[in-house]
Amino acid sequence: MPATLHTPNRPEGPHLLDATMYWARQACGGVRRAISTKRAALVAQGWRHTLLAPGVRGPGMVDCGGVSLPFSGGYRFVWNRAQATRLIEQAEPEIIESSDPFTLAWATLDAARALQVPSVAFCHSHLPALVAHWVGDRHGAHAHGRWAERQARDYLARVYGGFDMVLAPSRTTTEALHAMGVRHAQHQPLGVDCTVFNPAAADGAWRRALERRLQLPPGTRLLVYTGRFASEKNLDLLARAVELLGPKHVLLAVGGGPRPPKGRQVIVLKPQFHNGRLARLLASCDAFVHAGDQETFGLGALEAMACGTPLVASAAAGLGELAEGAAITMTSRRPGDWAEAMRAALAGRDGALTQQALNRARTLDWKLVLEGLSERYMRLLQRGPLDNDELSSAPTQPLLLQA
C-alpha cells in the first residue's frame, strides 16, 4: 500500500516534488544518484522536497506502488495513474518534476493542472533507441525497428509536449527532442561532487587489500565499470576486450541489474552507494571503461573523470559528448579495437586527456550545476504554468547552460 507523506517541522521555502519509477532498493543507475544529490542540495538551500516513487520509505517520501518489472534490476512499473495523481495532489507541491515518461509523467501533468502549478520533465533515457533495442533492431535497419522508433518518438512528443519545461542532460538528447517536436526542450547537464570525487581519493593501501581479498596477483591492472548491468551497456564487449589484454588484467563490474558481464577476467562487485567509498574505488583503479551507446549523459564516467582515472568510452550519444576530447572514444564494436584503446589508456594515466577530463569535471561540479537548476526552477515558479498556446510557440533554440 502507498505510504503517507511525513513532513515534520517543514521549513519554509519552495516545494518541489520529484516523481520517478527509476528507483529501487538496490538501484545503481544515474537517475537515483542525481535525484538524491539534488534533493539533499535543495533541502540545504531551504527548499521543501518530496520524492514519489515505488517502494520508498521515510520522511518526505511517498510510495506510489507498482508492479515488479522482470529483468529490470528491481524497478517497478507504476500502473495506477489516478492514484499517483491523488498522492501528488495530497503533497501540495509548488512545482512537480517527472524523471520518466510513463504513467508518472501523465500523473504529473494531471496533478499540475489540478493544482495550477508548473510541471517539469527530465529526459533521462533515450526511449526510441531503447525500444529499437528491445525489438532486436539496434541500428534501425529493419522495418519493425524503424516503426518501433517512430512510435516511441511520437509518444515522447505527446507526453513531453504538455510540460512547462523539458530538460535533457546532453545537447545530443536536447537536439533529438527538438527533432521529435519537443521544441521547448533545454539542455541541463548533471554534475559531480568534486570535493568527494577527485584524485586525492586514491588509496594504495586499500587497493592492495582489495587485490588480496580478490586473490589477484601483484601488478594486476584494474579496469572498472560502474552502473547498471543492462544489455544496452554492452558489458560483454568490455569483458571480451579485457580478456584480449591478457593475464593480469581484470574488469571490475560494480553495480547490479539483469545482465552482468561474464568472463574469466571479470569480477562482479555489489553496487557502492557511499560516495566516498565509490570515489576511492574509482580513483584507485587504472582505467574506467563504458561501452554504452544509448546514454543520455554518463554520470559514472563523469565521476571517474573527476577522480583523474583514464577513460575509454563509446563515442555514441550523451556519453560520447561528455567524453569527447577528454577520453579515448570508440566508434568500433570490435573487442580487439577496445583492447587496444584500453592498453593506450593504461599507458597514459598522466596524459593530456586525463587533465582535460579533470578540467571538464570541475566545470560540472554539482554546486555549479545545481545553482543553474535552482535558477530554472525559480524562473518557472515566478512565471507559472504555460497555457497550450504558449507551449506550442515555445522557442526552438532555448538557452543552453554552458558546461
Q: Is the pLDDT of residue 323 over 70?
A: yes
Instruction: Write down the pLDDT at residue 154.
Output: 95
Please state which CATH number belongs to domain 15-191+367-385.
3.40.50.2000
Per-residue pLDDT, averaged over 81-103, amounts to: 97
pLDDT at position 393: 43
Instruction: Quickly name the fold that domain 199-363 has.
Output: Rossmann fold (3.40.50)
Q: What is the mean pLDDT of residues 250-276?
A: 95
pLDDT band at 146 (very low <50, low <70, confident <90, very high): confident
What pTM value is reported for the model?
A: 0.88
pLDDT band at 123 (very low <50, low <70, confident <90, very high): very high
What single DSSP character describes residue 327?
S
Q: pLDDT digit string (tens) for 68-81?
A: 887 666 789 999 99
pLDDT, residue 386, reads: 60
Residue range 26-84, pLDDT digits in tens:
666 788 889 999 999 999 999 999 999 999 999 999 999 999 887 666 789 999 999 99
Per-residue confidence at 397, pLDDT binned at 50, 70, 90?
A: very low
What confidence score (pLDDT) does residue 388 get?
53
Instruction: Give the DSSP letter of residue 365.
Output: B
pLDDT surpasses 70 at 171: yes
Least confident of 112-121, 186-195, 350-359: 350-359
pLDDT at 132: 66
Q: Which residue ranges make up each domain of the chain?
A: 15-191+367-385, 199-363
Three-class SS string for the chain? CCCCCCCCCCCCCCEEEEECCCCCCCCCCHHHHHHHHHHHHHHHCCCEEEEEECCCCCCCEEECCCEECCCCCCCEECCCHHHHHHHHHHHCCCEEEECCCCHHHHHHHHHHHHHCCCEEEECCCCHHHHHHHHCCCCCCCCHHHHHHHHHHHHHHHHHHCCCCEEEECCHHHHHHHHHHCCCCEEECCCCECCCCCCHHHCCHHHHHHHHHHCCCCCCCEEEEEEEECCHHHCHHHHHHHHHHCCCCEEEEEEEECCCCCCCCCEEEECCCCCHHHHHHHHHHCCEEEECCCCCCCCHHHHHHHHCCCCEEEECCHHHHHHHCCCCEEECCCCHHHHHHHHHHHHHCCCCHHHHHHHHHHHHCEHHHHHHHHHHHHHHHHHHCCCCHHHHHCCCCCCCCCCC
